[in-house]
Amino acid sequence: MSFKEIKPEELKENPFTMIGKDWLLITAGTKECCNTMTASWGGLGVMWGKPSATVYIRQSRYTKEFVDKEEYFTISVMEESYREALKLCGTVSGRECDKMKEVGISAFEMEKSVGISEARIVMLCKKQYCQFMGPEGFTQQENDEKWYGDKDYHTMYIASVEKVFIKEA
C-alpha cells in the first residue's frame, strides 16, 4: 500500500461518477476501533473558501456514531473489483459483525483518522458543519415520501478536504 499526496485541486476524477457510480466508503474512528459505510450520495466543491466534501448519513447508521464523535473522517474511493464489498458495507451494520474483515478490506492509520488500505483515492476530511435533514426542510414532498418512508432521515456533514491521497501504481 503506497499513497501519494496531491492537492485537492489536482484531483482529476469526475465527482458525479466517483460518488454516484463508483460509490464511496465513509470511515471514522481509530485503527483499533473504526467503522465504515458505503455512500452513493454526496458532493465535492468549495465551501467557506476551502475544498469541501458533503456527505449524508442516516440516523440509524453505526458509522454516524463514529463521525459524530471524531473531528475527522475519511472518504475512500474503491476500484470496481470491490463492488461486492461496497454492497455489503452499505447493507450490513458494523454493530453486528466486523464487516471490513468479512469483505477483505483493512483500515490504516493516517493523520487524525483512518483510511481504507485498498482504496484508489482517500480524502482526509475535517468536519465543519452538520445539520439534521428532517421533513420540515423539504420543498418537494415527493422526496420525503420516496426516500424516507421509514423516517430514517439523514444528517448532512460539510467537511473541509484537508488532504487527498491517490494510490501509486
Q: What is the pLDDT of residues 154-164, one digit of tens each?
A: 999 999 999 99
β-sheet bridge partners, residue 51:
46
SS (H, E, C) 118-160: CCCEEEEEEEEEEEECCHHHCCCHHHHHHHCCCCCCEEEEEEE
Query: Residue 108 pLDDT > 90, yes or no?
Result: yes
Closest CA to 122 of 67, 78, 72, 64: 78
For the chain, the structural domain boundaries read: 3-167
Residue carrying the nine cell digits 424516507 = 148
Q: Which of 58, 66, 11 is nearest to 36 (CA)?
A: 66
> pTM of the entire structure?
0.94
The pLDDT of 81-94, averaged and rounded, is 91
The per-residue pLDDT for range 44-82, each reduced to its tens digit, is: 999 999 999 999 999 999 999 999 999 999 999 999 999
Q: What is the pLDDT of residue 111?
A: 85
Q: Where are the alpha helices (DSSP H) in the chain?
A: 15-17, 62-69, 83-91, 99-103, 141-147
CATH homologous superfamily of 3-167: Electron Transport, Fmn-binding Protein; Chain A (2.30.110.10)
